[in-house]
Amino acid sequence: MARRRRRHEWADHPELLTSIRTPWDKYQKADWNFARYEDEVFKRPCNAENVCFTALDFCVALTSLRDWTRVSLARDIRAGLRQLPIGLAGLSEFDAFARQLIPWMFAVEAIANTTKHAEYRDTGWPRGIAMPHTFVPINLKEEHDNCRDGLDLFAFMHRHKDVAWWDVALRQQGDEEATPGYIAFGDALEGWEQVLTTLGYRPAD
């Protein structure tokens, strides 16, 4: 039988290594990551690699926010500072509870876990795909759609670099339409703001 590892005496003080104390602090970190991603999407010319890297960082940050919230809630319930919210039967169900309330959380987790573990992981978002995708103003759509291959597309993007942009497109294999990351990730971040407000982790304004 494996020996139980002793809990570190500073286990309840992650701020000693992160300067982050609460789930709301962690939310602000995820919000900062989203702002970096947003900046890259809106930048002209738009760099596809920067968009992808900041999107990956955001997904890792939001998945980490889920973990921080679960740990903090468990600690606060043990201390009598909080109660289980309505709809959550037990702390072991917290991740499923969050996914029900937060749009796109399964996709965010799949991207984050694949980023961290170097293998495709699509639990909860089967056969999910998140790939760089080009977006253009409506007046350029026909020219964009007539690009015959990747070389044509890159030439088109360079030609219209002041108005065309890249984003991450999220879809599951077989889907006709993809959702831009800007929409999916923004919805997920807003969902977490609501959850943290409900749990009482958002400071009073």
Q: Is 8 inside a domain boundary?
A: no
Q: Is 193 inside a domain boundary?
A: yes
Q: Give pLDDT, residue 2.
A: 58
Share of the chain above pLDDT 70, in %: 98
* Sign of the four-CA dihedral 19, 21, 25, 30: positive
Average pLDDT over the chain reads 94
Q: Is 37 inside a domain boundary?
A: yes
Global pTM reads 0.92
For residue range 108-155, list pLDDT tens digits in order. 999 999 999 999 999 999 999 999 999 999 999 999 999 999 899 999
Q: Is 149 inside a domain boundary?
A: no
Q: Which domain holds residue 78?
A: 22-126+180-199
Q: Give pLDDT, residue 74.
A: 95
Buried b (16+ CB within 10 A) or exposed e, 53-76: ebbbbbbbbbbbbbebbbbbbeeb
Domain count, the chain: 1
For residue range 150-180, list pLDDT tens digits in order. 899 999 999 999 999 999 999 999 999 999 9
Q: Is 147 inside a domain boundary?
A: no
Q: Which of 1-5, 6-10, 61-65, 170-174 has the lowest mean pLDDT?
A: 1-5
Q: Would you say 23 and 66 are in contact if contact means Cβ atoms under 8 Å apart?
A: no
